[in-house]
Structure 1
Amino acid sequence: MIIIHHMEKKHNQIKIKNIDWKKWQFTEKAVLCFVINNDKILLIHKKRGLGKGKINAPGGRIEEGETPIKAAIRETQEEVLITPINPVKYAELNFIFTDGYSLYGEAYISKSHTGIPGETEEAKPFWQEIDKIPYDRMWEDDRLWLPHVLNGKKVKAYFIFEKDKMLDHNVEIVESF
């Protein structure tokens, strides 16, 4: 395991290193599914819910009894009207928000899909060149872990946020999950 990033800010805030992540109970579990077509990646303008107004990948909460991979396929179908083929898990993402909300997420990559992306009430999709991803319009953590994933690395990452502001993080490249 290689630790890539770690930072701490104010001393009176929650710190990544002080949390027992194996025992942490997350409020929700969710997925992201990045669809790649040659040198382009399918991103969305998020129109509602967590991250409204930001650019992200299709994704959402895992439903009761649903596997993460099935959720990644379903959420992509619902949000952008395409079906990712054989998505592969590349990241485990752990988020704690200072307001008490917490989220465990898995990020998948699919290198093929069926259908044509279309806009829904939740998302407006667009193809973006991978080397021009607009990180400044995304969640602050994306620039820390997503480039590793796009380079074929598996990542475990931990983040603490106060609303949209990242307070602490730790990103690790791992061999497997």
Structure 2
Amino acid sequence: MDSRSVARYVEDAQHQAMKHRLYTLIFPMDIYRNRVLLGMKKRGFGQNKLNGFGGKVEADESVAQGASRELCEESGLSPTEEPEKCGLLLFYFENDPVAMEVHVFITRSFAGQPQETDEMRPEWFDIREMPFEHMWADDPSWWPYVLDGKLFVGRFWFKADMVTITRQELAQVGSLDFSAK
């Protein structure tokens, strides 16, 4: 397991034994206009879904650095301050032996203008009127934690169709710093 992984602190033994891939998800928030930037995924995993920006964490970067890099690559925006970690999501897909460990961030301070890329088409949305019908099925469950400024850990089990959630666990936590555990 990647040494940056924190899954071992929140998973049972069966799921700890699975191979994990480390990912980020970052949401730029314009607090003055109460809006969040989402991107329509144009290709690959999650195609035709709106989501935050993110992807795999490279071997030579921290999770936060990965989130910042992905935001820049996919939207043209660059955080001007360290992104704020707000959640940890673990996804298990039926018939897939690899779990997704997704570190969720927000950034309220960024430079640049959103630009369409080969992978994403960015668009601003009101933070309280999220287009959940065009997003992943788990998003409505944990988005309220983001809005309320609460830290959270969630685990979601999906059928192979990547739409149907068969089981979920979601909880507010006091800290996302698992190094002290």
The question of whether the paired residues in 2 share the 8 Å contact of 1:98 and 1:161 is answered with: yes
| Structure 1 residue ranges, 4+ long, deviating more than 4 angstroms after superposition | none
Aligned residues: 160
Q: State the 1:25 CA deviation.
A: 3.2
TM-score w.r.t. the length of structure 2 is: 0.84
The answer for the alignment partner of 2:67 in structure 1 is 72
Task: State yes or no: 1:87 paired with 2:86.
Answer: no
**Could you list the per-position Cα deviations for residues 4-41 of structure 1 after superposition, in whole angstroms to 9, with x for gaps in the alignment?**
xxxxxxxxxxxxxx943772434311000101002000
Q: Distance in 1 between matches of 2:68 and 2:120?
A: 15
Structure 2 runs not aligned, ≥5 long: 1-10, 177-181
TM-score w.r.t. the length of structure 1 is: 0.86
SS, match of residue 132 in structure 1? coil
The answer for the alignment partner of 1:34 in structure 2 is 27
Q: Percent identity?
A: 32
Q: Distance in 1 between matches of 2:102 and 2:14?
A: 13
Task: State yes or no: 1:154 paired with 2:151.
Answer: yes
The answer for the alignment partner of 1:143 in structure 2 is 140
The answer for the alignment partner of 2:120 in structure 1 is 123
Q: Distance in 2 between matches of 1:46 and 1:40?
A: 19
Of stretches 146-155 and 113-122 in structure 1, the one that deviates more from structure 2 is 146-155
Change beyond 3 A, Cα 1:26–1:151:
farther
Change beyond 3 A, Cα 1:154–1:164:
same
Q: Distance in 2 between matches of 1:92 and 1:26?
A: 17
Task: State yes or no: 1:105 paired with 2:102.
Answer: yes
Letter of the 2:94 counterpart? T
Q: Distance in 2 between matches of 1:112 and 1:150?
A: 16
Q: Distance in 2 between matches of 1:89 and 1:26?
A: 23
By percentage of residues, which structure has more strand? Answer: 1
Q: Distance in 2 between matches of 1:54 and 1:70?
A: 24
CA RMSD of aligned residues (A): 1.5
The answer for the alignment partner of 1:49 in structure 2 is 44
